[in-house]
Amino acid sequence: MEHLIAMPDATTLRSDARSGQVAEVDALIIGAGFSGLYQLLCLRDRLGLSAQVLEAGDGVGGTWYWNRYPGARCDSESHSYSYYFSDELLEEWEWSERYPEQPEIMRYLNHVADRFDLKRDIRFGTRVTSAHYDTAANRWLVGTEAGEQLTTKFLITAVGCLSTANIPDIPGLDTFAGDWYHTGQWPHDGVDFTGKRVGQIGTGSTGIQAAPVIAKTAAHLTVFQRTANYSVPARNVPLTPEFKRYLKQSYAEIRRLMHTTTNGHPFGISERLALDTTPEQRQALYEAAWETGGLQFRSTFQDLLFDKAANDTAADFLRGKIREIVKDPATAAILADIDHPFAAKRPPIDTNYFETFNRDNVSLVDVRATPIERITPKGIVTSDAEYELDIIVFATGFDAMTGPLLNIDIRGRDGLSMKDAWQAGPKSYLGLQVAGFPNLFTVTGPGSPSVLCNMPVAIEQHVEWITDCISYMNEHEVERIETTAEAADKWAEEVNTAANATLLPQVKHSWYLGANIPGKPRVFMPYAGGMLRYRDICSDVAARNYEGFVLSR
Ligand code: NA7
Q: pLDDT per residue over 402-431, tens digit each?
A: 999 999 999 999 999 999 999 999 999 999
* 8 A C-beta contact, residue 258 and residue 250: no
Distance 204 CA to ligand 1 centre (A): 5
CA distances from 308 to 279, 281, 438, 459 (A): 16, 19, 42, 31
**Dihedral class, residue 523 (left if φ above 0, else alpha if ψ from -120 to 50, else beta):** beta
Distance CA 424, CA 436 (A): 16
* Residue 205 alpha carbon, nearest atom of ligand 1: 26
Ligand 1 within 6 A of CB of 511: yes
* 8 A C-beta contact, residue 27 and residue 2: no
* Residue 397 alpha carbon, nearest atom of ligand 1: 23
SS (H, E, C) 374-385: EECCCEEEECCC
CA distances from 193 to 51, 228, 477 (A): 43, 25, 59
Any idea of the CA torsion for 406, 409, 411, 415, to the nearest 10 degrees?
Answer: 120
Please name the residues in contact with 327: beta carbons below 8 A apart, sequence gap of 6 or more.
Answer: 358
Reduce the DSSP state of residue 283 to 3 states and report it: helix
Nearest to 356 by CA among 333, 327, 329, 334: 327
Same fold for the domain at 3-164+400-552 and the one at 165-229+348-397? yes
Distance 202 CA to ligand 1 centre (A): 5
Any idea of the CA torsion for 14, 15, 16, 19, to the nearest 10 degrees?
Answer: 130
Distance CA 215, CA 363 (A): 10
Distance 510 CA to ligand 1 centre (A): 8
* 8 A C-beta contact, residue 479 and residue 552: yes
Ligand 1 within 6 A of CB of 367: yes
Ligand 1 within 6 A of CB of 340: no
Q: Give the DSSP H or E segment for 87.
A: helix 87-92
pLDDT value at residue 10: 37
DSSP of 33-83: SHHHHHHHIIIIIIS---EEEE-SSSSS-THHHH---TT-B-SS-TTTSS-
Ligand 1 within 6 A of CB of 204: yes
Residue having the nearest C-alpha atom to atom 28 of ligand 1: 397
* 8 A C-beta contact, residue 146 and residue 358: no
* 8 A C-beta contact, residue 436 and residue 460: no
Using alpha carbons only, give the angle 368, 372, 375 rounded to the nearest 5 degrees: 165
Ligand 1 within 6 A of CB of 207: yes
Residue having the nearest C-alpha atom to atom 14 of ligand 1: 396
pLDDT value at residue 4: 26
* Residue 169 alpha carbon, nearest atom of ligand 1: 18
Provide the b/e sequence for 136-170 (b: ≥16 CB within 10 Å): eeebbbbbbeeebebbbbbbbbbbbbbbbbbbbeb
* Residue 367 alpha carbon, nearest atom of ligand 1: 20
Ligand 1 within 6 A of CB of 338: no
Domain ranges across the chain: 3-164+400-552, 165-229+348-397, 269-343
Please name the residues in contact with 35: beta carbons below 8 A apart, sequence gap of 6 or more.
Answer: 62, 158, 160, 443, 444, 459, 462, 463
Distance 343 CA to ligand 1 centre (A): 14
Ligand 1 within 6 A of CB of 526: no
Mutate to test the pocket of ligand 1, among 224, 516, 520, 522 (most ligand atoms within 8 A of CB): 516
pLDDT value at residue 509: 83
CATH architecture of 165-229+348-397: 3-Layer(bba) Sandwich (3.50)
pLDDT value at residue 22: 67
pLDDT value at residue 21: 59
Ligand 1 within 6 A of CB of 226: yes
Fold of 3-164+400-552: FAD/NAD(P)-binding domain (3.50.50)
Ligand 1 within 6 A of CB of 514: no
pLDDT value at residue 247: 97
Q: Give the DSSP H or E segment for 320.
A: helix 308-325
Residues of the chain with pLDDT under 70: 1-22
Residue having the nearest C-alpha atom to atom 17 of ligand 1: 168
* CA 416, chain centre distance (Å): 27
Mutate to test the pocket of ligand 1, among 75, 102, 182, 226 (most ligand atoms within 8 A of CB): 226
pLDDT value at residue 18: 45
Distance CA 391, CA 379 (A): 8
Ligand 1 within 6 A of CB of 397: yes
Ligand 1 within 6 A of CB of 396: yes
